[in-house]
Amino acid sequence: MLRYLLLLVLACAVLATEEDVLELTDEDFSTRVQEHETMLVMFYAPWCGHCKKLKPEYAKAAGIIKDNDPPVTLAKVDCTEAGKETCNKFSVTGYPTLKIFRNGELSQDYSGPREAAGIVKYLKAQVGPSSKDLLSEEAFEDFISKDDVAVVGFFEKESDLKLAFLKVADKLREKVRFGHTSNRDLLKKGVSDGIVLYRPKHLHNKFEPDTVTYDGEAKKENIESWINREYHGLVGHRQRDNTQDFKNPLVVAYYGVDYVKNPKGTNYWRNRILKVAKSFASVFNFAISAKDDFQHELNEFGFDYVKGDKPVIFARNAKNQKFVLTDDFSMETFEKFLNNLKDDKLEPYLKSEPIPEDNDGPVKIAVAKNFDEIVTNNGQDTLIEFYAPWCGHCKKLAPVYDELGEKMKGEDVAIVKMDASNNDVPEPYEVRGFPTLYWASKDGKSNPVRYDGGRELDDFIKYIARQATNELKGWDRKGKTKKQEL
């Protein structure tokens, strides 16, 4: 009975949350969207896996932000049933697609986070003024006491600095909380005409100041550059929705980062990282990340999981090469690692399968360790397929690709494949889905061209015949078979 009641309560909670998301159709979309000053609309398909993953986060966000001042409404449209015409009208070609509407008119595509807290933060930045007018000391104290960075402008009167500040606020409103004040008591405590960045209290430490004051020119681009440089501090809290802020060369410590459940333990390790990182701030960027949120990155560095409480340290240099601190973390081992990394004394980590003992087949097998030999320096035009063993489209292509390898025997063309799920893919190749194919001419290996043609045998042969540096022996430039002399 107790179990039944618990399930009933949970079901009601989910239902109540779902009710905060409006379900719109072709019949009522144009009228309902005009009723709301700001509305985020999710165009979805019920069968879409990404949509199913997003829906509970979307519903949770709707429940949080419905009472915001000013309010934001979240809605959804089923593109497979009652919302087909609306989805076509707004050129929806993939799912889920999210768009922001203001007073009934399409304003912009949504490009923010896909989890509840991130959605709420993004949308709050979309409504109201980009910089909050802090009229009292109480409002100011409340503004700078939140859990994220606050940037406050102190302006006794209108000035070029204030104008530039407000322009930056308009541009960065989705990322940064801006406030400004002309309150005389606050001006006496702060600066009469200046900008101050306040770090959140949970990130305060003795290795860097809690506040930073802007001392540059009254130029929009200078202020923006200053904010971006100072925003995360010496060792930033790198999360899934802000990874783009952290540029190479980057050193990241992965451990049980949790500022909600364990702020003291989180800062115990961060303070040790800060103490060492301070001496290398001009050389590297630093961050901490929750190991459970970045398991995919741990895998990229050869870690299936992280044992114990100590951080593991991974780094990427300016060339995007990967490096791992192989010793147990301590301030001594960390400092030694950074010195060796700075002096180029470390061997880059390469995720690679073993080099095949037998590689004489018609389709050559490339792994990370032999990529230069099999592809880059092979002296041949090369067609390479990046695949994953579990990929259905790759399995379908496999017999065609093998047959292509047989057909190209004796030609000055290499047919190659590489399991990109178990090997690092070198630059300039870029793989975002499987299979991905590239054509690399013998004289243009530094500038390979993505192959987007058909995947039948004849399609490949015609492409290779046309692109080959030297005309093929068995086919003319149009891909027609040459007559064999008797």
| Contact assessment for residue 447 and residue 428, using Cβ atoms and an 8 Å cutoff | yes
CA angle 324, 330, 336 (to 5 degrees): 60
Distance, CA of 366 to CA of 418 (rounded, Å)? 5
Token pair for residue 380? 């041949």
Name the residue with tokens 């593991």: 312
Helix (H, G, I), strand (E, B) or coil at 459: helix
Q: Provide the edge-to-edge strand list for the sheet that holds 364-365.
A: 364-365, 413-419, 381-387, 436-440, 449-451
Q: Across the strands, what pairs with 365?
A: 417
* CA 39 – CA 21 distance, rounded (Å): 10
- Is 48 annotated as catalytic? yes
Spot the catalytic one: 12, 51, 79, 87: 51
What are the phi and psi torsion angles at 253 (to 5°)? -105, 120
User: Distance (Å, rounded) from C-alpha 61 to C-alpha 20?
Assistant: 9
The encoded tokens of residue 318 equal 């300016």
Q: How far apart are CA 237 and CA 233, in angstroms?
A: 9
The alpha carbon of residue 281 and the mean position of all alpha carbons in its chain are separated, in whole angstroms, by: 24
The Cα–Cα gap between 28 and 377 comes to 61
Query: Which residue among 12, 79, 87, 394 is the active-site one?
Result: 394
Task: Specify whether 394 is catalytic.
Answer: yes
Tell me, what DSSP letter sits at residue 483? P
Query: Is 12 in the active site?
Result: no
Burial class (CB in 10 A: 0-12, 13-18, 19+), 459: middle
Q: Which residues are catalytic?
A: 48, 51, 391, 394
